A and B are shown apart, each in its own frame.
Chain A
Amino acid sequence: MNILEVEDLSMSFGGLQALRDINFAVPAGEILGIMGANGAGKTTLFGLIAGHARPTGGAIRFEGVRIDGLRPDKLSRAGIARTFQIVKPFAAMSVLDNVVVAALFGARRERRHAAAEARAREILAEVGLEARAGDLAASLTLSGQKRLEIARALATEPKLIMLDEVMAGLTATEVNEMLDAIRAIKARRTLTILIVEHVMRALMRLSDRILVLHHGEMIAEGPPATIAGDARVIEAYLGQEE
Chain B
Amino acid sequence: MKLLPAGLGLAFLLAAMAAVPQFADEYIVGVALSLAMWIALTESWVLLSGLTGYVSLGHVVFYGIGSYVGVLVWQQVPMWQMIALAGLSSGLFALVVGYPVLRVRGPYFVMLTFGIAELVKFVVIDIEAQLGEFSRLVLGGPSVTDLYYVMLGMAAAAVVLTYAVGRSRAGYALRAIRENEEAAETVGVPVARYKLAVFALSAVIPGMVGAVMAVRSSYFEPSQAFDPVISFTIVTMAIIGGSDNARGPLVGSAFLVILSELLWDRAPQMYMILLGLLLIAFVLFAPGGVTAWRLPRFGGARR
Contacts and interface: CB of A to CB of B under 8 A. Distances in A.
Nearest to B299: A134
Contacts of A153: 187
Interface stretch (B38-46, B125-133, B176-184, B261-269): B176-184
Interface stretch (A5-13, A91-99, A228-236): A91-99
Contacts of A192: none
Interface string A41-79: 000000000101000000000000000000111001100
Nearest to B300: A134
Contacts of A81: 186-187
Interface residues of A, number: 35
B180 A90 contact: yes
A22 interface: no
Contacts of B188: 73, 76-77, 102, 105-107, 109, 156
Interface stretch (B9-17, B71-79, B167-175): B167-175
Nearest to B296: A134
Contacts of A94: 300-303
B172 A101 contact: yes
Contacts of A97: 172, 175, 301-302
Interface residues of B, number: 23
A104 B189 CA distance: 9
Interface string B148-177: 000000000000000000000100110110
A155 B179 CA distance: 18
Contact of B187 (A91, A93, A101, A134): A101
A104 B169 contact: yes
B185 to A, nearest CB: 4
Contact of B185 (A72, A89, A91): A72
A20 interface: no
Across chains A and B, which 7 residue pairs bring their CB atoms closest together, nearest first? A105-B188, A90-B179, A76-B188, A134-B300, A106-B188, A102-B187, A88-B183
Given A77-B188, A105-B188, 20 more contacts: A52-B182, A71-B190, A72-B182, A72-B185, A73-B185, A73-B189, A81-B187, A84-B183, A88-B183, A89-B180, A91-B179, A91-B180, A94-B302, A96-B301, A97-B301, A100-B172, A104-B169, A109-B188, A134-B301, A156-B187
13 contacts: A52-B186, A73-B189, A92-B303, A94-B300, A96-B301, A97-B172, A101-B172, A102-B188, A104-B172, A113-B169, A134-B300, A134-B301, A136-B303
